[in-house]
Amino acid sequence: MKTTTRIIMLSLLALAAAASPARAQSKSELTVALSSFSAETLDPALQGHNVKYYLSLMFDYLVGVTPDGQPSQAGGLATKWEPSADHKRWTFHLRKGVKFHDGTEMTSEDVKFSLQRATSKRSTTGYAGPLRTLIADIETPAPDRVVIVLKEPTLIIPTYLSRSLSTEGMVLPKKYIEANGDDVFARKPVGTGPYKFVEQAVGSHIKLTAVDNHWRIGVPKYKNVTFRLVSEETTRIALLRRGEVDVADISRERVKELEKEGFPIHMRKEEAIIHAWWILGPEGRTPPTKDKRVREALNLAIDRNEIAQSIFGGYAEPAVIPMGLTWAFKDVGFKVTPDMVYAYDPARAKKLLAEAGLASGFTLDVYAFQLPGFAEGKAFAEAIAGYWEKIGVKSKLIPVDYPAFRKMWVDRKAPGAVGYYNIANRDWIGAYALLEKQGYTPSKLNDTVNDPEIDGMIAQVMRQTDREKINALMRNIFTRLRSEHHGLPVVYVHSPYATSKTLGKYNPGTVMYDLFIDELARR
């Protein structure tokens, strides 16, 4: 028995030794733990937006942006771009001497191929649809020059192909994909980014290794970068404490605890707006929310400050404009004035309902679901339903999962019912793209607004080539969304990322679904 005990003790000691924290992890390694990898696809054409966390290290964009989302001629494969006088032809001048990870040189043919692939029927990226509608042809007059010919004059093409939006602007290797096929490319992607693909274990991790010298960041600081999928937050924090990961997304409620322990917290300010809306019927808005006074009353009944404090731990700010993405506000010169701010005023809300002939209230269905990056979803739904109860609106909470809600929304099967989304903040063109789909009647499927005046302005933005006029249109759209109460802007949430104590300075930026890990690797 003694021998057995000794063997067990020795085994445990050996295990403990083998499992000792990786504090001494080489500085050449960087590990990022994320709660979700989304679809885990490595082919940019198969998933937009939320795979950018890791794809933006492997692929360069045609148009680069700074971590703060501003177009940068130093950050992308195009060194400059200019429109023709009628804004129907955009010429992009490409950087010379850039090589793919397989050694072939990047040329205009690769850009053309990438864009055709991103807008093909197979593509499910974020803006494949709008680009398909816009692009008439792609010309390659020289290896370092590509011309995108459009069906309509527009200013927005460079932004669509930039790092600030989805994955359509990523430049892929034509020869490699044609020689090996889509499936091989999806398993062993090749790009021009500062990191090369090494391995992917679906459901576990994606490992990348640095190129020798990258045109943008030089010799990367970290030899290897690993993205680990760790769904459970307790585990991500334990890994951080053990020194096994360097960057991890955390919930707002764990911020103070980790700060006390000395872990630097990097906030992405106003990363998303929590925005709710009423599902339209087949013919548009339905009573009672067809009445503007009812929409205003439902807005006034919500205590946004309390929601920011209690549900989001103080890491949120009250929102004012329906679908009002604040990163776009500064681009178009939109200012939120004090009279636009929704006060918490249940008394006035009740008065408005009475004026609308609904003094005795009405029944309102509220769908309750969680979303990626919005774990507080159900608590949020319960909170707004609770506020509405106080003004006599009988809120019926309907727990569903998001796909079930989305079906009700796009099929218009539950007119007047309330749904919500955490919409990633983005610049003016991103905000425009959102409005074009969710606030524009011809988009049908996703529309939540149904306002002819707004429809007219949105249609003008697409064709307008004078930036000042675009800015004015965008300002007017935001103003009208607010004055007509076309939705329930509730809060802007800040998203925290914790880093190891030794990582040093880090700016996770303000570009949606992109943590700019490559900038962290810049020496």
The residues that touch other proteins, with contacts defined as CB under 8 A, are 15-16, 18-21, 39-41, 43, 46-49, 121-122, 124-129, 132, 166, 183, 186-187, 201-205, 228-232, 234-235, 237-239, 241-242, 244, 401-404, 406-407, 410, 421, 433-434, 436-438, 443-446
The answer to whether the peptide bond before residue 288 is cis (omega within 30 degrees of 0) is yes
- The candidate with the shortest Cα–Cα distance to 250, out of 305, 164, 318, 313, is 313
- Which C-beta is closer to other proteins: that of 238 or that of 341? 238
Interatomic CA distance for residues 494 and 308, integer angstroms: 10
Under 8 Å between Cβ of 381 and 389: no
Nearer to other proteins, 163 or 437 (CB): 437
Nearer to other proteins, 239 or 316 (CB): 239
Measured from the CB atom, is 352 or 462 closer to other proteins? Answer: 462
H/E stretch holding 292 reads helix 292-300
Tell me if 157 sits within 8 A of 88, measured CB to CB: no
Judged on CB neighbours under 10 Å (0-12, 13-18, 19+), 181 is exposed
Nearer to other proteins, 148 or 165 (CB): 165
β-strand partners of 135: 150
Q: How far apart are CB 60 and other proteins at their closest, in Å?
A: 22
Kindly give, in sequence order, each residue whose CB lies less than 8 Å from that of residue 235, ignoring residues fewer than 6 positions away: none
DSSP string for residues in 105-165: BP-HHHHHHHHHHHTSTT---TTHHHHHHHEEEEEEEETTEEEEEESS--S-HHHHTBTTS
- Give min distance, CB of 37 to other proteins, in A: 10
Exposure string for 387-401, b = 16+ CB within 10 A, e = fewer: bbeebbbebeebeee
Query: Looking at beta carbons only, is 38 or 104 nearer to other proteins?
Result: 38
Residue among 444 and 469 whose Cβ is closer to other proteins: 444
The answer for residues whose C-beta is within 8 angstroms of residue 402's C-beta and 6 or more apart is: 369, 370, 371
Q: Which is nearer to other proteins, 19 or 347 (CB)?
A: 19
Query: CB 227 → other proteins: shortest distance, Å?
Result: 12
Amino acid (one-letter) located at 486: H
| Minimum gap (Å) between residue 369 Cβ and other proteins | 12
Instruction: Give me the least distance between CB of 233 and other proteins, in Å please.
Output: 10
Q: Closest separation between CB of residue 345 and other proteins, Å?
A: 32
Instruction: Please work out, in degrees rounded to the nearest 5, the angle formed at the alpha carbon of residue 68 by the alpha carbons of 270 and 205.
Output: 80
Q: How far is the CB of 523 from other proteins (least distance, A)?
A: 29
| Alpha-carbon distance values, 463 to 156, 162, 472 (Å) | 10, 20, 14
Whether 186 contacts 41, CB under 8 Å = yes
Q: Closest distance between other proteins and the C-beta of residue 112, in Å?
A: 21
Q: What minimum distance in Å lies between the beta carbon of 94 and other proteins?
A: 28
CA distances for 140 relative to 109, 110, 149, 219, angstroms: 7, 10, 11, 31
Give min distance, CB of 465 to other proteins, in A. 23
Element spanning 480, H or E: helix 467-483
* Nearer of residues 34 and 146 to other proteins, judged by Cβ: 34
Q: In terms of CB distance, is 228 or 494 closer to other proteins?
A: 228
